[in-house]
């Protein structure tokens, strides 16, 4: 594609694939009036799919010898439950936190796994549909490579943490902690304590979302660069070498990326448990 005289250049190809199906272009670095419809659609679809898979496993669970699907789900549930028990020591809280962590892991894994689809598969399908419905020719299919999605997830975790701070410690106890930890309860230290607490909440939330976004964005870029190798093939020694390199690099990176998408889902889930667990601890 990139080598074609009438096709886009490598830079134009990547820029186009990094574009979102939006209601309008953003007017600044932060514009809350912009909606990335492709990210919303795929995130919602995969969230529903994840819930259906877990519901199906629960519905077909038996006390006998489990099938492969049920066994896989049971292993996953036991893993998440053991991690929740080790971090969140309040048994009542775990009734909500453990299913939340399981949902987070499955949902993020499915969103990350969209990166394993061929780069041009769904965008090319949308390329044929978009003109018919009068929509822009943009379709990005990895929701976790969208910063607004990952930051939305991390903000949701922050809200859960704030809820448990108030529930476990009481409104007065949490406010007291905001002004007396970590340096002490002397009135002169209250402004510094409050500032440090706010910085901690902001830093945890931003790093939580940015870590997932950065890894998935980088992985998406590498897949695009590998796709460009295949698009530049021709009946020459260099062109055939690029085609072979495209197959080898694409296969190797896809296999390695399976580890990345799983690890990133696990890390996000674990940090969710850690942050919620910290909300239960008194300083």
Count CB-CB contacts under 10 A for residue 220. Answer: 21
215 is catalytic: yes
Contact 122, 137 (CB under 8 A): no
Beta bridge pairs of residue 36? 22
Q: Which residues, listed in sequence order, are joined to residue 22 by a DSSP beta bridge?
A: 36
Catalytic annotation, pick one of 23, 82, 207, 234: 207
Q: What is the dihedral of CA 238, 240, 242, 243, to 10 degrees?
A: 170
- 211 among known catalytic residues: yes
Reading phi first (left if > 0) and then psi (alpha if -120 to 50, else beta), residue 134 is in: left
Q: Is there a contact between 272 and 157 (Cβ–Cβ < 8 Å)?
A: yes
Q: Retrieve residue 232's tokens.
A: 């530049």
- E strands, the chain, in order: none
Give catalytic status of residue 68 as yes or no. no
- For 22, the 3-state DSSP assignment is strand
Say if residues 141 and 123 touch (Cβ distance below 8 Å).
yes
Distance of CA 137 to the CA centre of its chain: 24
Residues annotated catalytic, as ranges:
207, 211, 215
């Amino acid at each position: 594609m990139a080598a074609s005289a009438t096709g886009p250049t490598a830079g134009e190809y990547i820029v186009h694939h990094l574009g979102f199906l939006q209601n309008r272009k953003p007017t600044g670095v932060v514009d809350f009036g912009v909606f990335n419809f492709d990210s919303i659609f795929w995130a919602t679809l995969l969230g529903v799919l994840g819930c259906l898979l877990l519901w199906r496993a629960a519905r077909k669970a038996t006390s006998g010898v489990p099938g492969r699907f049920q066994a896989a789900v049971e292993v996953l549930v036991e893993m998440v439950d053991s991690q929740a028990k080790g971090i969140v020591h309040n048994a009542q809280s775990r009734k909500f936190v453990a299913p939340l962590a399981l949902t987070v892991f499955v949902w993020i894994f499915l969103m990350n796994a969209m990166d394993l689809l061929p780069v041009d598969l769904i965008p090319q399908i949308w390329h044929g549909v978009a003109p018919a419905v009068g929509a822009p020719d943009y379709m990005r299919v990895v929701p976790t490579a969208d910063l607004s999605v990952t930051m939305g997830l991390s903000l949701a975790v922050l809200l859960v943490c704030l809820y448990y701070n108030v529930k476990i410690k009481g409104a007065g106890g949490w406010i007291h902690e905001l002004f007396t930890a970590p340096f002490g309860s002397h009135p002169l230290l209250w402004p510094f304590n409050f500032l440090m607490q706010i910085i901690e909440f902001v830093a945890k939330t931003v790093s939580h979302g940015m870590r997932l976004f950065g890894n998935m964005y980088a992985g998406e870029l590498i897949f695009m660069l590998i796709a460009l190798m295949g698009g530049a093939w021709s009946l020459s020694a260099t062109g055939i070498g690029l085609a072979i390199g495209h197959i080898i690099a694409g296969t190797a990176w896809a296999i390695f990326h399976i580890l990345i998408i799983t690890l990133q889902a696990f890390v996000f889930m674990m940090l969710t448990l850690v942050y919620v667990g910290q909300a239960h601890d008194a300083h």
